[in-house]
Structure 1
Amino acid sequence: MERRFQGQTDIPLTDTGVAQARRAARLLAALRPDAILASDLTRAVDTANELVALTGLELATDKGLRETYAGQWQGLTNAEIEARFPAQFAAWRRGEPVRRGDGELETEVADRAVAAVTQAVEALPDAGTLVVVSHGGAIRCLIGRMIGLPEDNWGSLGALSNCCWSVLGPGARGWRLLEHNAGTLPEPVLGDEV
Structure 2
Amino acid sequence: MTGRAGGPRIVFWRHGQTSWNLESRFQGSTDIPLTEHGRGQAQRAARLLAGLRPDLLVSSDLQRAADTAAELAKLVQLEVQLHEGLRETYAGSWQGLTHTEIRERYPDDYAAFGRGEPIRRGGGELSSEVADRSVPVVLDAFEKLPEDGTLVVVSHGGTIRTMLGRLLGLDPTLWECFGGLSNCCWSVLGQGARGWRLLEHNAGTLPEPVIGDDT
Which residue of the partner structure matches residue 74 of structure 2?
53
The aligned amino acid for 2:196 is: W
Find runs of 4+ consecutive structure 1 residues off by over 6 angstroms. Answer: none
Paired residue secondary structure (1:95): coil
**Separation in 1 of the partners of 2:194 and 2:112?**
33
Matching residue within 97, 105, 122 for 1:84: 105
How big is the shift at 1:126?
1.7
CA distance in 1, matches of 2:73, 2:176: 31
Counting aligned pairs with the same residue, the percent is: 65
Residue 164 (1) aligns with residue 185 (2): yes
The alpha-carbon deviation at position 6 of structure 1 amounts to 0.5
Letter in 2 for 1:176: R
Aligned-partner Cα distance in 2 for 1:112–1:46: 22
> What is the CA distance between 1:86 and its match in structure 2?
0.6
Cα offset for 1:113?
1.1
Q: Which moved more, 1:40-49 or 1:118-127?
A: 118-127
Q: Where do 1:24-103 residues align within 5 Å? A: 24-103=45-124
Deviates more, 1:168-177 or 1:128-137: 168-177
Q: CA deviation at 1:158?
A: 1.1
Aligned residue type for 1:119: D
Residue identity opposite 2:68 in structure 1: T
Partner letter of residue 67 of structure 1?
Answer: E
Q: Which amino acid aligns with 1:17?
A: G
Cα deviation, residue 102, structure 1: 2.6
**CA–CA distance in 1 between the matches of 2:204 and 2:182?**
9
The answer to whether structure 1 residue 176 and structure 2 residue 197 are counterparts is yes
Q: Deviations over 1:103-122 (max 9, x none)?
A: 00000011111011001001
* 2-structure distance, mates of 1:182, 1:143: 15
Matches within 5 A, 1:100-179: 100-179=121-200
User: What TM-score, normalized by structure 2, do the two folds share?
Assistant: 0.84
Q: Which amino acid aligns with 1:150?
A: D
Counterpart of 1:5 (choices 26, 30, 46) is: 26
Offset of 1:123 from its aligned partner? 1.2
1:71-96 Cα offsets, whole Å, 9 max, x none, are 11111111111111111000000000
Using the TM superposition, give the Cα deviation of residue 157 of structure 1 relative to its aligned residue in structure 2, in angstroms: 0.2
**C-alpha separation in 2, matches of 1:2 and 1:97:** 25
**RMSD between superposed Cα atoms in Å:** 0.9
Q: Which structure carries more relative contact order (alpha carbon 8 Å, separation 6+)?
A: 2
CA distance in 2, matches of 1:44, 1:100: 22
